[in-house]
Amino acid sequence: MWSTTDAPCRCAGWLLRAAKVFSPEATHCALLSQVQPLIPPGTSVTFLGDGEFDGIDLQEQLRQAHWHYVCRTASNILLSAGGDAFHVADLGPARGEVLALTPAWMTKKQYGPISIPAVWEQQYEQPIYLVTNMLDLDTALKSYRKRGHIETFFSDQKSRGFHIHKSHLSDPARLSRLLIAACLAYVWLVYLGVCALRDGWMQQLHRVHRCDLSLFRLGMRLLARCLKEYIPIPEGLIVPAILPAARIQTPNKKAA
């Protein structure tokens, strides 16, 4: 979830015991209901998701919350527009082409109005299809491209980052405490990744014509370089606590 706000960042987490399968839409809606009260009123929020998050009940909940959303959708989803019914794949963009259907209604329940951007970038083997409630489709596509940098949390916490899966913790309370520490470190490293993009570090950290690293991984590389070459670590985000002045008492020496 991506938000444009000056409000402080808040974290919410859930412990789930389940096989590695798609969660039902009811679970998505329930989690959204828990997150929504944490967002300050008036915050501009854009919800980004893969094809697991294109359910019409979730879309309606996002709409009721006055949130923007851009999610991937499947090529076999039924659409209707202009009195005709067809499938998403029938949009059929050519390679290198970007097109969109708007307004449209999706599934047999005719949910909408929504827009369906269809994007086939030249370097990929097949197109992707999106569903959004945003009126500015250029902004919708620009927002969706942020997914590649911000939706890598699990791999960043595990095999590509902190390796917390090797902790072998099974007690939920202990795991929760570990996640709090890992998430705080994660937020800081994501900030360093933003610094890498913003402050001209990319030529020293990664190829510049195409970036396949998450903000977290960029932050890890920037931190490693700073530590190796004794470069000051970018300041910001985390404000050092003001510690109380130490009280040092010097005992009076006895006269000789």
Ranges of each domain in the chain: 2-145, 154-229
Tell me the torsion sign for CA atoms 182, 190, 136, 37.
Answer: positive
Percent of the chain with pLDDT over 70: 80
pLDDT by residue (tens digit) across 176-196?
A: 899 899 989 999 998 998 888
Sign of the C-alpha dihedral computed for residues 135, 67, 51 and 56 taken in this order = negative
* Strands annotated E in the chain: 2-4, 44-49, 68-73, 78-81, 84-87, 98-106, 111-119, 128-132
Predicted TM-score (pTM) above 0.85 = no
- Computed over every residue of the chain, the mean pLDDT equals 82
Query: In which residue ranges of the chain is pLDDT below 70?
Result: 1-23, 149-150, 207-211, 238-256
